[in-house]
Chains A and B, each alone.
Chain A
């Protein structure tokens, strides 16, 4: 079994909670790939002692679609629709990240207006992803109603983006040098209205969920990914920030026009499921701030360069470009041999590394905790399998 790692980071509290004496009989439980709360088609092979987990093997590959291999058989433009299908929950961010990577390779200038629209759409996408996570995480630990509240708000984002991009989930909005379609004032009005609406809704979420005793009991001290484990496994995104490391690609290596906006990077110190929850909810607020600034500052002008290129033939070489997706650092590594078809595209997807830390976190917890922990790191399986 390839991904087995011994438990190093089991807290004393969790250990003593369930008692130390193992029963003589242990057994294996195959959780997934078809299981109501294994997000997508993740399979966990749990080695159990009663309800206590002794060891865990995440098995991936059930949603493998060979996106990277496909990239080697089609030209740069033809790979665009693939990108948003890698991580279908932050499709906009992935799609635009690929555009930005190729633009960097070909040194294409992007008009100001397009940059602003990209920021607005990316942040809307991030909020929709976090809202979906909020809902499904609560479903995982047994709260059904917040899911529908979150989906109500998420639906607004999908409608806003659907109107300009033509898609609800797997966007293909970016082009090398700009965007397919310009936005109109209705889009900006809708976005402003949404920012206002969600700001009013967030206190409701806090009232329903954040202060709930049962919710806190299920999350506090559960699934601690400390700084050491996080750095050792390359955990990024909210999981890393929940462990107290303020690393956000938007701030660390600003891309696009992210250096023009004021926003905080929310961090927590405890690294448990509750910290990850708090970080994500705080990130929703920060994204709203960015959207607000971008909508206020957006200039008029073109959304594509005056003379768009017809053929895309980067010089031989390689490039790594990273953005902050809803789940962490999404990197694109492109190797060009000077032809119209990429020699190799490697995608560094955050969930892969985040999930890889699970064998270090899950042992000595219970089945119920497993669901809460895997839910709290927010894995998107197609993004891991690619």
Chain B
């Protein structure tokens, strides 16, 4: 009896892991293609057109090329950190994806602290980035890593505070419960400020323009991953695009009502919202110039943190007064 159950859990875990890895890979391939296509359209170009229909297989071809590339380790690198960093950056993403309710009956794990876990694992990714920057033994990489850590600390606070306001509304940190609470109206309508703060923080959290300061290529060459080549570089890329998906999934779950929506099945709504948000983030990237590091930090500490605190307090007071 016990043995059978144990075996089943392992099988289920393995199958889930395979599904998530498959999803993340396809997601990254698709997002790279989408980004190239969207940026091309923003810039009056065509983007990839040659490989596959409308260039859809271009990123696959690029991935195969990256697989074949030599893995170079700098001579003076801190080898354990250098080798471990891409893994540390990528693994939390896998856990993160498994936590979201994709449809009413479709989620890998339903934990009552799901929201906390998502942010906790997002934080681990930055340790990997710092390891990459430190282990590379390159000044540009180290500068990028320094910026990444400072930026992460600064932007996780408003991010979590705005998420907390939602938990006050939903009275739960269970992601499925938060989504169920939005079956009539999405929390975007009750928490417009929180949603805006979350969106800004999410773009910063994923190191994307206009907050792509840790890897600002015109300043720091490629920032923390300057010294990585081949598949190791690809893993950083995979993590970046997967992180985009995760922060968009969080936003969808917290503010846009998750899988709720008329006519279409729930999982379709979920992915429409997620990829809509990702497209919005891409739009930001190809429109805005980059902030300067000190501007970014002062924006976080003097604008976003007080605003999100006020939002949290306001939500708490309003709920205390008006809710039975």
Contact = CB atoms under 8 A, between A and B. Distances in A.
Q: Do A and B bind?
A: yes
Interface of A: 17-18, 27, 29, 35-37, 50-51, 138-145, 148-149, 152, 208-209, 212, 214-215, 217-218, 366-371
B221 A149 contact: no
A35 B295 CA distance: 24
A174 B124 CA distance: 63
Interface residues of B, number: 29
Contacts of B220: 367
Interface of B: 39, 42-45, 139-140, 143, 146, 209-210, 212-213, 216-221, 286-295
8 contacts: A29-B140, A35-B221, A141-B289, A142-B210, A143-B287, A148-B45, A218-B290, A366-B292
Given A36-B221, A149-B43, A142 B294 contact: no
Nearest to A34: B221
B290 to A, nearest CB: 3
A366 B294 contact: yes
B295 A217 contact: yes
Given A149-B43, A149-B44, A368 B139 contact: no
Chain A contact residues: helix, strand, loop or mixed:
helix
> Interface centre among A143, A144, A212, A215, by most B CB within 10 Å?
A144
B292 A145 contact: no
Contacts of A366: 292-294
Contacts, number: 84
Nearest to A27: B139
A35 B216 CA distance: 12
Given A142-B209, A145-B286, A215-B289, A17 B294 contact: yes
Contacts of B44: 148-149, 152
Contacts of B43: 144-145, 148-149
B128 to A, nearest CB: 22
A367 B219 contact: yes
Contacts of A18: 294
Nearest to A139: B218
B64 to A, nearest CB: 26
Given A142-B210, A148-B45, A214 B139 contact: no
Nearest to A143: B289
Given A142-B212, A145-B42, A214-B210, A368 B221 contact: no
